[in-house]
């Protein structure tokens, strides 16, 4: 599309009258292309520090900003991106939460009597997770990780529904719900497909020239950096490969749209691991009973406790306070970080490791791995990023602001009428 026409389109957009939308349509016919698309490529764990080290299509996408992430893991951050709200508003935080009454894992107490050697294998657990997902009809992401079978009946699982489809979030809506409501055609990737397939599927949708928003979901950088850390040559190779995919999407879009807004976004960063502690051993040496005295969920960077026996709290608190590799998180801090902590569903007591240190073994894994996230959001390696060919306004500071940029990009299509857009 010529610069003249682009300027003209923007000008029309600012006039805000019905007649202008008619002009827009006729302009579209002249150029033979659709008017505009916004492509958001989600790259899991492509945090600000990783971006600073490797860059990303610096010429095509010269605008980049550091974004605050949410406290917790992807199960908290990804819904925050899609809803534009914090966990204490949308209700999603940690995948496992204490709820023995509704636990779908009650039968697991029998499996726990079988030798752990079979079921502790990652592959076996992965297939078992797939079976449970199928048996219970879960449509969201489900993984048993390394939660011991004997402990599973204490917990329920949050992401039973796929929140990438409309109506999938517990409370509030997502950008996709909004698009449906506003009748704006969009395409969201199928996260079950490989990255190569996701790119091809997005290109196929873009070629139709109908969608106004494409959400390209590329999560594999996260897994790679968990396995090799952030400094390995493979990380550079992966990021260069991601650049090729985004360029490919952009070139495809330019053939079918006059105007292409391009964004690369992430949910959090990645820290290199420098050590670990055996927290489970320390807690188990206190002589308390798991189940009747306390319940614990050991995530890789934090531990959460519940106390069926209130007297157990001070014993565990006393133990945690003496551990130099991490610290207790106060309710005040949880409140500040927008964690839904009040109903104690996600924990009555939270212990967070210092950046780069792991709880190992944990219920998330049995090995020390080179990269991890899920530390305090203020740590430099926790920050996410947004990269674009469009200027990023000053008020965009957190991953919860990404949705604002999406709605701004789509504003001209809202309710089928043309609104101000600059």
DSSP 218-253: E-HHHHHHHHH-SSSHHHHHHHHHHHHHHHHHHHHH
Piece in contact with Zn ion (CB under 5 A), picked from 9-17, 183-191, 218-226, 359-367: 218-226
Q: Nearest approach, Cβ of 169 to Zn ion (angstroms)?
A: 21
- Nearest residue (CB) to Zn ion, 225 versus 316: 225
Q: Is 381 in the site for Zn ion (CB under 5 A)?
A: no
- Nearest residue (CB) to Zn ion, 222 versus 299: 222
- Nearest residue (CB) to Zn ion, 89 versus 232: 232
Q: Is 222 in the site for Zn ion (CB under 5 A)?
A: yes
Phi, psi at 259, each rounded to 5°: -135, 125
Q: Nearest approach, Cβ of 9 to Zn ion (angstroms)?
A: 40
Helical residues (DSSP H) of 37-190, grouped into ranges: 48-54, 74-83, 87-90, 108-111, 116-119, 122-136, 175-181
Piece in contact with Zn ion (CB under 5 A), picked from 81-89, 216-224, 313-321, 327-335: 216-224
Q: How is residue 150 written in tokens?
A: 């004997």
Q: How is residue 408 written in tokens?
A: 């701004």
Report the C-alpha gap between 374 and 382 in whole angstroms.
7
Note whether 124 and 103 are within 8 A (CB).
Answer: no
Q: Nearest approach, Cβ of 51 to Zn ion (angstroms)?
A: 16
- Nearest residue (CB) to Zn ion, 173 versus 222: 222
Report the C-alpha gap between 126 and 142 in whole angstroms.
9
Piece in contact with Zn ion (CB under 5 A), picked from 134-142, 170-178, 183-191, 222-230: 222-230
Q: Nearest approach, Cβ of 82 to Zn ion (angstroms)?
A: 17
Q: How is residue 121 written in tokens?
A: 């294998």
- Nearest residue (CB) to Zn ion, 6 versus 380: 380
Burial of 394 (0-12, 13-18, 19+ CB in 10 A): exposed
Piece in contact with Zn ion (CB under 5 A), picked from 27-35, 125-133, 220-228, 331-339: 220-228
Q: Nearest approach, Cβ of 357 to Zn ion (angstroms)?
A: 16
Residue 92, helix vs strand vs coil: coil
Q: Nearest approach, Cβ of 45 to Zn ion (angstroms)?
A: 6
Residue 260, helix vs strand vs coil: strand
Question: Which residue in the shown chain puts its C-beta closest to Zn ion?
Answer: 222
Note whether 43 and 264 are within 8 A (CB).
Answer: yes
Q: What is the size of the binding site for Zn ion (CB under 5 A)?
A: 1
Q: Is 409 in the site for Zn ion (CB under 5 A)?
A: no
Q: Is 195 in the site for Zn ion (CB under 5 A)?
A: no
- Can you give the binding site for Zn ion, defined by CB under 5 A? 222
């Amino acid at each position: 599309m010529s610069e003249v026409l682009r300027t003209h389109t923007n000008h029309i957009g600012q006039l805000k009258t019905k007649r202008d939308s008619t002009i827009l349509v006729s302009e579209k016919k002249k150029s033979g292309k659709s008017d505009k698309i916004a492509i958001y490529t989600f790259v899991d764990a492509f945090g600000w520090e990783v971006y600073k080290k490797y860059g990303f299509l610096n010429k095509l996408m010269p605008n980049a900003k550091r974004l605050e992430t949410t406290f917790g893991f992807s199960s908290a951050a990804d819904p925050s991106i899609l809803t534009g709200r914090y966990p204490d508003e949308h209700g999603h935080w940690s995948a496992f939460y204490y709820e023995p009454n509704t636990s779908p894992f009650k039968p697991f107490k029998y499996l726990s009597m079988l030798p752990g050697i079979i079921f502790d294998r990652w592959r076996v657990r992965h297939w078992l997770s797939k079976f449970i997902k199928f048996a219970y009809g879960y449509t969201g992401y489900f993984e048993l990780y390394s939660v011991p079978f004997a402990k599973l009946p204490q917990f329920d699982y949050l992401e039973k529904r796929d929140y990438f489809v409309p109506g999938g979030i517990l409370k509030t809506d997502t950008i996709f719900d909004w698009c449906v409501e506003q009748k704006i055609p969009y395409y969201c990737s199928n996260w079950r497909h490989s990255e190569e397939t996701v790119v091809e599927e997005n290109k196929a949708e873009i070629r139709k020239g109908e969608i106004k928003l494409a959400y390209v979901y590329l999560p594999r950088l996260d897994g790679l950096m968990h396995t090799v850390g952030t400094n390995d040559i493979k990380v550079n190779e992966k990021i260069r490969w991601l650049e090729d995919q985004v360029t490919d999407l952009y070139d495809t879009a330019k053939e079918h749209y006059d105007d292409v807004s391009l964004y690369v976004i992430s949910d959090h960063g990645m820290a290199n691991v420098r050590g670990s502690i055996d927290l489970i051993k320390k807690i188990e040496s206190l002589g308390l009973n798991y189940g009747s005295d306390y319940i614990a969920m050991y995530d890789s960077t934090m531990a959460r406790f519940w106390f069926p026996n209130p007297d157990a709290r001070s014993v565990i608190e006393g133990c945690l306070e003496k551990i130099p590799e991490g610290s207790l998180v106060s309710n005040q801090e949880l409140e500040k970080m927008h964690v839904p902590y009040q109903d104690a569903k996600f924990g009555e007591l939270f212990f967070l490791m210092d950046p780069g240190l792991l709880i190992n073994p944990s219920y998330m894994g049995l090995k020390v791995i080179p990269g991890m996230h899920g530390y305090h959001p203020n740590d430099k390696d926790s920050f996410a990023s947004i990269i674009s060919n469009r200027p990023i306004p000053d008020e965009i500071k957190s991953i919860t602001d990404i949705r604002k940029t999406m709605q701004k990009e789509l504003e001209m299509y809202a309710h089928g009428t043309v609104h101000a857009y600059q």
